[in-house]
A = this chain, B = another copy of it.
């Protein structure tokens, strides 16, 4: 997601409708660096739209994912998390606090750059690097 306006425009161009619920979800996602789960986002949108359903959040996330506006992270075996950041970076998952964090390599990652390219006949649509372990705060 670059910015909410661009996402809205993309929705309109695809014939999708812009609803207050969706705008709120876009806004919440835009500045999020916490890699929220669908449930996380649902709980936060509830404060703005007290009657929104989990289904609406869920379906909007699916749509955003299908449009490549957000990335779906499978690093936590318990649930899916979402990442609105589009730049190349890898993710760490702490098995103690169960937090997902970004890790920016000092030099670009050759694998992350494979997205949209072809290697050995395989057409890469998305590339993920996951590091699982224990974060600094948890390894006292």
- What is the size, in residues, of chain A's interface with B at 8 Å between Cβ atoms? 34
**A23-59: contact bitstring with B at CB < 8 Å (1 yes, 0 no)?**
0000000000000000000000000000000000000
Residues of B within 8 A of A109 (CB): 110-111
The answer to whether B125 and A134 have CB atoms under 8 Å apart is yes
The answer to whether B77 and A77 have CB atoms under 8 Å apart is no
State in angstroms the CA–CA spacing of A54 and B90 once bound together.
35
Q: Which of B103, B119, B132 contacts A126 (CB 8 A)?
A: B132
Nearest residue in B to A138 (C-beta to C-beta)? B123
The answer to whether B119 and A103 have CB atoms under 8 Å apart is yes
The answer to whether A134 and B111 have CB atoms under 8 Å apart is no
State in angstroms the CA–CA spacing of A19 and B126 once bound together.
42
Residues of B within 8 A of A77 (CB): 72, 74, 80
**A62-104: contact bitstring with B at CB < 8 Å (1 yes, 0 no)?**
0000000000101101001000000000101011000001010
What are 12 contact pairs spanning A and B, CB under 8 A?
Answer: A74-B74, A103-B122, A111-B111, A114-B131, A122-B131, A122-B133, A123-B135, A123-B139, A124-B132, A126-B132, A126-B133, A127-B132
Task: Name the 10 nearest CB pairs between A and B, nearest first.
Answer: A121-B136, A125-B133, A124-B133, A74-B74, A123-B134, A128-B130, A123-B133, A126-B132, A124-B131, A111-B129
